Amino acid sequence: MVVPRRWLADASLLLVTLIWGTTFVVVKEALTAVTPAAFLALRFLLAAMALGLVAGLRLRRLSRADLRGGLLLGLFLFAGFFFQTTGLQTTSASAAAFITGLSVVIVPGLAWLALGQRPSRAVWVGVVLATVGLALLTLRETPLPQAGDLLVLLCALAFAGHIVATGALAPHSPPLALTTVQVATVALLSLPLAGPSLTLALPGEVWAAVAFTGLGATALVFAVQTWAQRYTSPTHAALIFTLEPVFAALFAALVAGERLTPPALVGAALMLAGMLVAELGRGPETTPAARALAGASGRRA
């Protein structure tokens, strides 16, 4: 039995989301001994070096268009992390988690405008279910508007732009090289923010967190995301990514002993339902890679 590539892509994106979900507890512990900017710089520097070693000579074969695409993805990614980190200083963690998750609402409209990928009714139903579930999972109380909310909203816009841009660029560029350029861009842009706080004299547990997030949650997952989005739409990828706080809550409950409240459990169930509704109502793929595969199959026949 041949497994359809879009199923492999979805499974890969689910793995990406699972790994991202584990980083919240890890990063939270590390930030007791290092500034957010320094941690971000070290994380992406390590990821860029690892990807550069693996990509090797393939980087020399990058076209100018591929290089510009990687730089664009890196700018979106850096903006997302920068606005999220800055916004967290003046808003609550629960509000930041909810607003960041609103990228699932932004992506379908952005993909429609930029790529002409019109979302189906099933996708919109899935988006609504996921958004309601996200609110139940992340918002512990009725949040009042705070100064950092606007910055976190810019973070959501940046992450939405990154998902859509990846969907547009990945089918036409070598995934590993494209990932290397975008990660290196984030690393270079993070260095000035870290400033004097950037040091190598850090506790072992911080370096362990840098290694896990740099190699696993950055180098590996962004390479996998870039490959997987060749075979699925940005909107579908965004719906899968909404499960990140679900995995984060489960991991926090298992490792840090945090309690999952009944509303949080209902929220997690709604988010899973949203993804399933979108999956079951999914039509033929309209990504460039999917169209190319379909054309190749027709020619072989």
d(CA 272, CA 34): 35
- Write down the pLDDT at residue 259: 80
Amino acid making up residue 137: L
Q: Give the per-residue pLDDT at 21.
A: 85
Q: Which two tokens stand for residue 12?
A: 């890969």
pLDDT value at residue 283 = 57
State the residue for tokens 């990509």. Answer: 55
Q: Which DSSP category does 284 fall into?
A: S
pLDDT of residue 96: 76
CA distance 94 to 121: 29
pLDDT along the chain (301 residues), means of 10: 77 92 82 86 95 84 88 95 83 76 88 87 90 83 71 92 93 90 94 88 92 94 93 88 85 79 88 83 52 31 32
Rounded Cα gap, residues 151 and 10, in angstroms: 30
- Residue 4: the pLDDT is 75
